[in-house]
Amino acid sequence: MKLIFIYIVFTIGIWGCVESSKNRNGKASDDKEWWKEAIVYQIYPRSFNDSDGDGIGDIKGITEKLDYIRHLGITAVWLNPIYSSPNDDNGYDVSDYRNIMADFGTMEDFDQMLEGMHERGIKLIMDMVVNHSSDEHKWFKQSRSSRDNPYRNYYHWWPAEKGKPHHRYSLFDEKGDAWKYDSLSNAYYLHYFSVKQPDLNWENPKLRQEVYDIMKFWAEKGVDGFRLDAFQFAAKDTTFPAFPDDLDKNFIQYYAMQEGLHTYLKEMNEQVFSKYDVMSVAEGAGRNFKEAHELVDANRNELNMAYAFDAADIAKPEGYSVVHFKEVFSRWDSAFSEKGWLSIFLSNHDQARLVSRYGNDSPEFRVLSAKMLNTFLLSMRGTPYCYYGDELGMTNIGFETIDQYRDISAINGYKKVLLSGGNVKAYLTSLKFGSRDNGRTPMQWDGTANANFTTGKPWLPVNKNHIEINVKTEELNPRSVLNHFRRMTKLRRENPALIYGSYKLLQPEHPTIYAYIRELGNKKLLVLLNFSSSDSSINLVETSKINHIKINNADDMIIENNKITLTPYQAVICTLD
């Protein structure tokens, strides 16, 4: 007769199981850093909380919610851009780097928010958008005014008498053309993003100094870190040679990590990062591991951590391979196991919702799969970046028609498909699954009108499911996604093995279960995640060593000899002897 051990762990009881925080400093690793221990919460300010009823989230709105944020157990906030901007790309087109966007409030509001964060032990990471500025920035206005203006070389200009420059691809342009002709000085300027986001010329030392001074301005205010937007594209071969025809499809290959980038980063490090206790992370991690390491190896004095996209692009409307998912995360982990440091994320303001892409947002499985995904993010090696609303299991809104979208990339992408005679229906289907606006709908605070995000008309509709998925309801339910998220942040903060411990993947070929061990000193944690909507079993020799269940999104875990059976989307972390 088989012996059946059934461990019953009620989610509510888990607070009591977490070890004492006295253990926190027990196993100090030589290279301890606050930014490695950080749990980052990303806030898209436009969508978080509107304090003045204009339908747009603002800084005071964030300040009002600081206790909520602290209570999530996160330790740092990454704030998407809040600088003055005409909002062609929701703040990623900056017209004044030393001022606050009128929609978001004032510098006084900012100072109060920062103070409130620091009082609560929360660090603040600012988004620095310096691959490009807005075309409404005074530098660009000057630059375009004449060819001999002192600001001319702050941007990339190509005199029209030399003919049309070689093709460069633009991510947001309706025609995909990164060169825009400007009759004022009979020249083309370069814009890898929208026509209102001209690329800055990093070859110009004056421009570089301006950027470092801006960063120092914010560092002097006391911010704790910088995320460098699109920075891997900042260096360019300014002779603009012809590129092969597959250019548009291999954007990263041709545009990222061009010569000069490391020089600029070293200079930025010397002038800014080394002078303040700030962390640094660039969007993107180069084209391969070698380049990723070159960005973040501590002895090179460039950046602190890499933010790689391989895993964030795996989810597809038709589903994805769990084996592949594991392989990508494990490959990146092993490349960074000795040196360097990674970010761990699956969603951000450029992606659709976590649970709709990587989990299962059906009524039956949304809660379970959202908890499972948050368990994953918060138990991997690397600094986790959790996107606002994912702690509730917020879902895609799933717009049907193009006029519902506000995102320039969706709107201009649509125009491009129309212009090129492409399949508009297929494009709309792909947007419904993957568009950035899915991840930008307002935060769902409660079940009342507009989820209590605003008293006005929200800039982007609130998801109708806020009646059920919202902070207020989830606060009251010990088994909610929110309360599971809080238990996970607590578990991570109190277990250095989840931060600094080694990572070992078990059974890479298992089609549905992601199992791994995090180990530091004599502490071993086994993580078991069922990525499928059916029961899944796994045979593990480690089973006999299971000692204590630290977290479980189901009521129990079924163990028969060495076989563990997980229910749909079950997530368990247990200690091993």
Give contact residues for ligand GLC (rule: CB under 6 A): 89, 92, 129, 193, 229-230, 283, 349-350
Reduced to 3 states, what is the DSSP secondary structure of residue 574?
strand
The alpha helices in 297-380, defined as continuous H runs, are 322-335, 354-358, 366-377
Judged on CB neighbours under 10 Å (0-12, 13-18, 19+), 483 is buried
For residues 565 and 575, what is the distance between their CA atoms, to the nearest angstrom? 17
Shortest spacing between CB 92 and ligand GLC, in angstroms: 3
C-beta closer to ligand GLC: residue 307 or 336: 307
Reduced to 3 states, what is the DSSP secondary structure of residue 7?
strand
Shortest spacing between CB 501 and ligand GLC, in angstroms: 30
Across the beta sheet with 513-520, the strand order is: 502-506, 513-520, 523-530, 571-576, 546-552
Among 283, 294, 437, 474, which one carries the catalytic annotation? 283
Shortest spacing between CB 554 and ligand GLC, in angstroms: 36
| Joined tokens for residue 308 | 């790689």
Shortest spacing between CB 230 and ligand GLC, in angstroms: 4
C-beta closer to ligand GLC: residue 128 or 491: 128
C-beta closer to ligand GLC: residue 87 or 374: 87
For residue 319, CA distances in Å to 316, 509, 532, 575 come to 5, 17, 11, 32
Q: Which residue is nearest to ligand GLC (CB)?
A: 92
C-beta closer to ligand GLC: residue 229 or 361: 229
Query: For strand 225-228 and strand 187-190, is the pairing parallel, antiparallel, or unpaired?
Result: unpaired
- Is residue 447 a contact partner of residue 463, using CB atoms and an 8 Å limit? no
The alpha helices in 378-504, defined as continuous H runs, are 408-419, 424-434, 471-476, 481-494, 496-500
CB atoms within 10 A of CB 67: 9
Query: Would residue 388 be called left, alpha or beta, if left means φ above 0 and alpha means ψ between -120 and 50 degrees?
Result: beta
C-beta closer to ligand GLC: residue 234 or 527: 234
Shortest spacing between CB 229 and ligand GLC, in angstroms: 5
Active site residue 229: yes
Shortest spacing between CB 82 and ligand GLC, in angstroms: 14
C-beta closer to ligand GLC: residue 210 or 350: 350
C-beta closer to ligand GLC: residue 218 or 531: 218
Among 229, 302, 361, 437, which one carries the catalytic annotation? 229
For residues 220 and 124, what is the distance between their CA atoms, to the nearest angstrom? 13
| Joined tokens for residue 374 | 């948050």
Return the axis-axis angle of helices 205-221 and 261-271, rounded to nearest 10°. Answer: 40
Shortest spacing between CB 570 and ligand GLC, in angstroms: 33
Residues carrying an active site annotation: 229, 283
